[in-house]
Amino acid sequence: MSRYERQTRFQPFGETGQAQLEQTKIMVLGAGALGSHIIDQLARMGAHHLAIVDMDIVELSNLHRQTLYDEQDAQLMTSKVEALKQKVHTINQQVHLKTYYQELLSTNIEDIIKDFHPDIILDGMDHFKIRYLINEVCHKLNIPWIYGAAVGSKGTVYGIDFTGPCLKCLLQQIPQTGESCAINGVLPPIVSIVASYEVAEAIRYISGYGFSQQLITLDAFNIQHQSLNIRQLKDDQCPVCHFQKYDVLNDKQNHTIEPLCGDTVRFRLPAHSFDYASDFPGHMIKSTPFAKLIQHKDLAFTLFKDGRMNVHGITEETDVHALYHQLLKAIK
Ligand SMILES: [Zn+2]
């Protein structure tokens, strides 16, 4: 029996679908819960040309829902893309996974996508705003993409191929969760369901059936499922898919201080900060080639190779700007 016989026996997919899947270049943005589940399924199904973009490290708090990572990855603070590369190699050696250890920004997203040249993009991001950037860049480069989101027990999936509404058109229809899983938590079953629906839409598209054209919303705790035909919701005044105005993509400002969820703020410090981390106040708790952990009073800093720093433990009284400038001064 051939490796993929159980899926090729499913007639609508068949040998032809399998052959297409093996040739298609698929890019996954984000290697968190959704992204790692998506990569897992696609690698097992025999998608030979995969790419993943992410700049996070594996943490213990990821392991309840990010099934490809393990305690050793968290202990070593391995980058998620590197951990995925190793896991994929053990799952299916025919799969080539190209990794981009980079944070997706308006300044680099176009170059990263053009470098891999994907036929289709799957969304594995964990915050909402970035999807508007993905929506714009995919429209500009004419690449179909699948929106997927999972927060709490709820999830949403929608395949966007530019014949129907784009994400911007659906602003009113897509649940504006705004919240993220760091605040509202996330239940592991909704992650695997959303990831599976994203892969299902991808399989449909790749094997020639096109996206389902449904906005799928799910709840893995109240056990609800809704699919809504939204073709008629295409906005004929949509700035993105009608007027090709790419405001988010064209905003090249990188914000040096960005509030993340809960008690965390992200600083963007110069990239050389990583090499001079010992000059920062506080003491170094852990250091790996991917990240450094520094404890400074009640604050915990996670410093990444590109100079990004997540500051945990911010309180109302913390003067965030003063802290940013203190850190900046320390490494000059
Ligand atoms: Zn639109």
Task: Tell me the percentage of the chain whose pLDDT exceeds 90.
Answer: 78
CATH 3.30.310 fits 257-331, yes or no: yes
Can you state the angle between helices 33-45 and 188-206, rounded to 10 degrees? 50
Q: Identify the pLDDT of residue 86.
A: 97
Q: Which residues pair with 122 in a beta bridge?
A: 28, 146
CA 313/CA 317 separation, integer angstroms? 11
Phi, psi of 114, rounded to the nearest 5 degrees: -65, -30
Residue 177, pLDDT above cutoff 60: no
Q: How far is the CA of 131 from the centre of ligand 1 (A)?
A: 13
Q: How far is the CA of 321 from the centre of ligand 1 (A)?
A: 37
Q: How far is the CA of 145 from the centre of ligand 1 (A)?
A: 13
Phi, psi of 68, rounded to the nearest 5 degrees: -85, -15
Q: How far is the CA of 239 from the centre of ligand 1 (A)?
A: 7
0.85 exceeded by pTM: yes
Q: How far is the CA of 162 from the centre of ligand 1 (A)?
A: 8
Write out the residue limits of the CATH 3.40.50.720 domain(s) in the chain. Answer: 4-250
Q: Identify the pLDDT of residue 149.
A: 93
CATH of domain 4-250: 3.40.50.720
CA 325/CA 246 separation, integer angstroms? 32
Give mean pLDDT, residues 239-244.
95
Find out whether 41 and 70 touch, Cβ atoms under 8 Å: no
Q: Identify the pLDDT of residue 176.
A: 58
Residue 205, pLDDT above cutoff 90: yes
The predicted-structure confidence for 242-299, as pLDDT tens digits, reads as follows 999 999 999 988 778 988 767 889 999 998 999 999 999 999 999 988 899 999 999 9
Q: How far is the CA of 111 from the centre of ligand 1 (A)?
A: 23
CA 6/CA 94 separation, integer angstroms? 18
Find out whether 52 and 96 touch, Cβ atoms under 8 Å: no
Q: With bands split at pLDDT 50, 70 and 90, how would you rate the model's confidence at 175?
A: low
Q: How far is the CA of 166 from the centre of ligand 1 (A)?
A: 4
CA 52/CA 129 separation, integer angstroms? 19
Give how far Cα 60 sits from Cα of 158, 171, 321, Å.
Answer: 30, 34, 29
Cα–Cα nearest to 69, from 180, 77, 27: 77
Q: How far is the CA of 244 from the centre of ligand 1 (A)?
A: 9
Write out the residue limits of the CATH 3.30.310 domain(s) in the chain. Answer: 257-331
Mean pLDDT, the chain, rounded, equals 92
Burial class of residue 264 (count of CB atoms within 10 Å of its CB; 0-12, 13-18, 19+): middle
CA 152/CA 144 separation, integer angstroms? 27
Cα–Cα nearest to 224, from 123, 153, 295, 126: 153
